[in-house]
Amino acid sequence: MSLPPLKDTKEFQKRFLDQIKSRIGGEEILASHLSMTLGIGLNAAYKKVQQTTLLSLNDIILLSKAYQISVDQLLPFDFSPIPFLADGVRRQPESYSDYFVNIKNHLEKLIYLKDVKFINLSGEAPLFHFLLFPKLLSFKLYAWNFTSWMLDKYKRELDLSIVDRDTELKVHVEDCLKIYYRFEGIEIWNSRMLDITMDQIKYFIQLRKFKNRHEVMELVNSVYDMADHLSNITSMGIKKAETNQYLSKAKVEVYLNELVYSSDVFYVFSRDVEAVFINYNPPNLIRTTDKRFAGYTKNWLTETLKHSSLISKEGELERSELNHTMNTKLDRAKKEIEGLLILKYPS
């Protein structure tokens, strides 16, 4: 989807300010953000919002840097580059908490937008569903650090209790969980979603990274618990995260697709903004609000849904088949793990 031609400089300014609004959560606080970022009075900022005063080149440079806006994407050239932001490249997280602070920042911006929905095409099981299972999430964080972040302080020990032990990390994880589980949307799954996790467990058994057999089997049981959780989502058509402190839930349509395989893709849309998040170098994300790419992604995912089967609520037959397939695969992987444990952890 291409942008329409620019009528004049004011049209560009409107598009530019719309990008800032999508990042801060609406127009009500736009003037105060301009005032703070540009170091100008509130009245002068309102004039720029109302476009009675044009943004200067210096204004555009300062605001582009502060709100991570690519001017290219606002110019209506079909062949201009499509800009992506890669948080993990721009600044590697220094801790597990850092990663979730960044995810939370993106989620919090969505709260203030009207009628936010999403379509998620999953390769692996979606990140946000792991957040309900502390041992399993601790393991995934170790695996992601092993392959992507390579932070020295986490390399030495595979600690399955780190999400429960690290208070700061636990708070950020729960915040992400509470926010994500309040958005309605569509998730497109496949029967291979948990395969990579079981393969990662096998890999780290061979490296003898676990303390003992019992720890491994506790982790395997967590994978089964997650499979049960996913099954509950499909049977109710609702994703729900509940503790003594909070309840977050929302309607979700879940589809099964065995034809398309991709890294995780999130297409997020509301009245005010479209954005695409893609899992690249898991669990790092690249993202864009480029209208051409968002439109292309929307069309692709809409076509993908045509080749998918609804498995939430009404899709009982397809849902039953998926549960059977996933549990059969888990049982097979569990037997392989038990065999590896005899070899690698004999006592």
40 and 164 co-located in one domain: no
Mean pLDDT on 183-200: 96
Would 327 be classed as within a structural domain?
Answer: yes
Compute the mean pLDDT over every residue in the chain, rounded to the nearest whole number.
90
CA atoms within 13 A on the CB side of 294: 18
Q: Is 102 in the same domain as 64?
A: no
Q: Are 233 and 274 members of one domain?
A: yes
Choosing from 47, 76, 105, the residue where a domain stops is: 76
Domain extent, residue 32, equals: 9-76
Whether residue 165 is found in the same domain as residue 41:
no
- Which position has the higher pLDDT, 23 or 330? 330
Least confidently predicted of 107-121, 193-207, 250-264: 107-121
Do residue 96 and residue 71 come from a single domain?
Answer: no
Is residue 4 one of the residues assigned to a domain?
no
Question: 253 in a domain, yes or no?
Answer: yes
Last residue of a domain, one of 76, 110, 130: 76
Full-model pTM: 0.81
Tokens representing residue 22 in the block: 């999508």
Number of domains in the chain: 2
Identify the weakest region by mean pLDDT among 29-33, 118-122, 199-203: 29-33
The whole-number pLDDT of residue 21 equals: 85
Q: Is the domain of 67 the same as that of 175?
A: no
Q: For residue 77, what pLDDT band results from cuts at 50, 70 and 90?
A: low
**Shared domain check, 121 and 201:** yes
- Asked if residue 271 is part of any domain, the answer here is yes
* Predicted pLDDT at 41: 92
Give the pair of three-digit tokens for residue 97: 């908490």
Q: What is the pLDDT of residues 278-316, one digit of tens each?
A: 998 899 999 998 888 999 999 999 999 999 999 998 888
- Shared-domain flag, residues 248 and 133: yes
- The answer on 277 and 155 residing in a single domain is yes
Per-residue confidence band for 4, with pLDDT thresholds at 50, 70 and 90: low
Q: Is there a domain that residue 129 lies in?
A: yes
Instruction: Indicate whether 58 and 90 sit together in one domain.
Output: no
Q: Which of 25, 53, 76 is the C-terminal boundary of a domain?
A: 76
- Do 173 and 236 lie in one domain? The reply is yes
Does residue 169 share a domain with residue 70? no
